[in-house]
Amino acid sequence: MNLSQSAWRLTLIYLLAAGSWVLFSDAMLASLGLSIEQLERLQLAKGLGFVLLTGMLLYGILHTYQYQQRLANRALHNSERRLQRALQAAGDGTWDLHLGSETLQFSAGYAELLGLSLAELGNSHKHWLSLLHPEDRELYQYNLRQLLSAPTAQPYDVTYRMRHKDGSYRWIQARGQLLVDDSGHPERLTGTASDITQRRNDEDSLRQAAAVFDATQEGVLVTDAQQRIVHSNPAFSRITGYSQEEIIGLQPSLLKSGRHDAAFYHSMWQALENRGAWSGEVWNRRKNGEVYPQWQNIRAIRDDKGEISHFVAVFSDISALKRSQRELDYLAHHDPLSNLPNRLLFTERVEHALERAKRDDRRGAVLLVDLDHFKHINESLGHNIGDLLLKEVGERLALQLSPGITLARLGGDEFGLLCEDCTSAESATGMAQLVMSCLKQPFNVMGQELFISASIGISLFDCDSQDVAQVLRNVDSALFKAKSSGREGYAFYTEELTQYARQRVELVSALRHALEHDELRVYYQPLICLKDQRMIGAEALVRWQHPQRGLVPPGEFIPIAEESGLIGAIDAWVLEHACRQMVAWQAAGTPLRFVAVNVSSRMFSRGELDLRVARILAETGLDPALLELEVTESAVMDNPDAALALLGRLRELGVRLAIDDFGTGYSSLARLKRMPVHKLKLDQSFVRGLPHDQNDVAITRAVIALGHSLGLKVLAEGIEQAEQVELLLALGCDHAQGYYFGRPQPAGELLNLSSA
């Protein structure tokens, strides 16, 4: 019964009781036959008594009602306090949405969820919506419409993101109830709210961890404290061959390969007990019996009491890594073309041989084999043929040498041999002769018969040898000596070779210094017309004025400059100075018709000689017709087609061209007749034997006749005797050069000779 029904009932009872009292009391008084005065007094007493009685009754009713209200309010207050404490303990807040006015009431706990005060939060539904994440607003509106479309007392449970005061968004879970009025229309929505951001993050982390657990390529195995398997991932099954159903409840010892002893496992468990973790390489056995290596990490998991509850093992199959390491180690120590040991492995073996020689008082030998003129095969037949030839050379040598000898390809066309039982120079000589004899037989490469020879350097070592670097330097010096002696031979290392090598290094450094500090000089040797024996030109020759040693002979530093690559820079320097000097001579009125400058093979082979000459002529202002460039026959024949094109470009510049050292190379007469040159310079090796050596006389006569038949002038080099001059005149030679007419000298002294 509600409060309104109780009020009506009490009122009705009161009216009936009061009416009955009035009627019955009046009738009773009338039956007494009292006087009017007595009747009035009784009526008054009766009325006062009724008022007093009803007043007392009303007081009792009101007092009882107030007491019950206090009890109810106290119970409600206690209930609210318990609810508030529960909400505070849970970190929750309350909210109440009045659907008609769209106002919201919040508890202080709700405002704290967002880091706001109640005043900052307000009571506007619109303001509350502005705090809702933009991506969640549509979902919130949809859920609210769905709830209001069927207004029943159904529960309300949604999750959305709200903007915190610090700018971040927090996940809020709202739970509530839709309240309807007596007519069943939605009146308000009320409920609680909780911050579940951490829970959502934890759930996301768990999902990610589960995804990683299932997707990782590493096997994962989980056991309890008694080492019984409780869980594994798909990678474990893929690596070991065991399904999860097969190994649950078993112990990991079923995977043991038998390669590790008890001490290994004792050390592993001791590390787990002391440090809580262990990692290392383990050999285990798959289900099919195959033993394989794996890298394993094991960690002990402890509960809240610090007791071990689980062990987690994460491992990866490193079989492929082991194979790759072996392959990489092989590739790092072997030549990929010949499959022979490479320089690194050869050096290591020489080092070990030296250690054994010192320990056991033994002797041995290192041989360095360099194939002669191998670059000609690469250049003429291609690198593919060259590589196949190198491979066959390695195979042939490997078949001829005894198993105790290390054969290595050190790079390019260079092979190394290490013999630890070579006790004498005679034994090393026999080995070198065996290699040379082995290579004399022709090689058949892709249908082509090829011949190759070798130069060999030999270095003996014993217990007194210093180190591997010294031994390799020694054998390299010996190889250089063998190549310098005409190739296709062998040479032993001596101390003199080491001194010579050191001098060469020092000389290269000093030569670089000379270029940078203007220590080079240009000397000029007269070029004579034989008919009237007048000087018609001069050849520019480089000299080195060393600050301590004085004038360094060209035969000492020119070969070094060629090998070190400095010859190109020296040639360019000489060319520029010679052109400037010729301009000065022309200005002074000297009768010289031209200046001749040597061009080295290195500078000529670069193919940009015409551009450099054009630039120097433009810078110095020299008439191109006054410059003669001398190119050696060997430089022209190295690449005849390219040389012909370059000579053509030089001829277009207007300069004079001469073939130097003619007769010492392998000139093709068919190519020679096409070359745009002006002059042939007969090499001094043929002039030196004149007039007594009939072979030299015949060659000289033939070269002069050949030159004249091609319309070329012929100059003889190296003339030192009057008899040579007379013979050359008789043979029709045009020009001459040599000590008989004058030595190379500075420009000033040459002018004095010219005027004399």
The verdict on residue 711 lying in a domain is yes
pLDDT tens column, 604-631:
777 678 888 999 999 999 999 999 999 8
Say yes or no: 590 and 726 in one domain.
Answer: yes
Structural domain count, the chain: 5
pLDDT of residue 1: 47
The number of C-alpha atoms within 13 Å of 29 and in the hemisphere containing its C-beta is: 18
pLDDT tens column, 563-580:
777 888 888 899 999 999
Amino acid identity at 516:
E
pLDDT of residue 495: 60
Q: Are strands 364-371 and 308-317 parallel, antiparallel or unpaired?
A: unpaired
Domain with 112, as residue range(s), is 91-201
Q: How confident is the model over 269-274, as a mean pLDDT? A: 84
Which band of pLDDT confidence, cut at 50, 70 and 90, is reported for residue 581? very high
Say yes or no: 487 and 563 in one domain.
Answer: no
Domain of 632, CATH number, reads 3.20.20.450
**Separation between Cα atoms, residue 579 and residue 53, nearest integer Å:** 151
**Separation between Cα atoms, residue 476 and residue 368, nearest integer Å:** 7
CA angle 192, 195, 199 (to 5 degrees): 125
Domain of 471, CATH number, reads 3.30.70.270
The verdict on residue 595 lying in a domain is yes
Q: How confident is the model over 737-754, as a mean pLDDT? A: 82
Instruction: Classify 152 as helix, strand or coil.
Output: coil
The neighbouring-strand residues paired with 59 are none
The verdict on residue 336 lying in a domain is no
Say yes or no: 67 and 192 in one domain.
Answer: no
pLDDT of residue 91: 55
The verdict on residue 682 lying in a domain is yes
Q: Are strands 713-716 and 735-736 parallel, antiparallel or unpaired?
A: parallel
**Separation between Cα atoms, residue 696 and residue 559, nearest integer Å:** 27
Select from 260, 295, 323 the last residue of a domain. Answer: 323
The verdict on residue 47 lying in a domain is yes
Q: Which two tokens stand for residue 481?
A: 């000596």
**Separation between Cα atoms, residue 756 and residue 744, nearest integer Å:** 16
Say yes or no: 312 and 452 in one domain.
Answer: no
Select from 449, 465, 493 the last residue of a domain. Answer: 493
pLDDT tens column, 417-470:
999 888 777 788 888 888 988 888 899 988 888 888 899 998 888 766 668 888
pLDDT tens column, 354-384:
888 888 888 889 999 999 888 888 888 888 8
The verdict on residue 355 lying in a domain is no
Say yes or no: 313 and 169 in one domain.
Answer: no
pLDDT tens column, 99-124:
878 888 888 888 888 888 888 888 88
Say yes or no: 95 and 70 in one domain.
Answer: no
**Separation between Cα atoms, residue 467 and residue 474, nearest integer Å:** 11
Say yes or no: 318 and 375 in one domain.
Answer: no
Say yes or no: 642 and 533 in one domain.
Answer: yes
The verdict on residue 177 lying in a domain is yes
Say yes or no: 67 and 125 in one domain.
Answer: no
pLDDT tens column, 272-329:
888 888 988 888 888 888 888 988 888 888 887 888 888 888 888 888 788 888 888 8
Say yes or no: 535 and 576 in one domain.
Answer: yes
The verdict on residue 429 lying in a domain is yes
Say yes or no: 244 and 112 in one domain.
Answer: no
Select from 493, 528, 559 the last residue of a domain. Answer: 493
Which band of pLDDT confidence, cut at 50, 70 and 90, is reported for residue 83? low
Say yes or no: 65 and 190 in one domain.
Answer: no
pLDDT at residue 524 above 90?
A: yes
Number of alpha helices (DSSP H) and beta strands (DSSP E) in the chain: 28, 26
Domain of 177, CATH number, reads 3.30.450.20
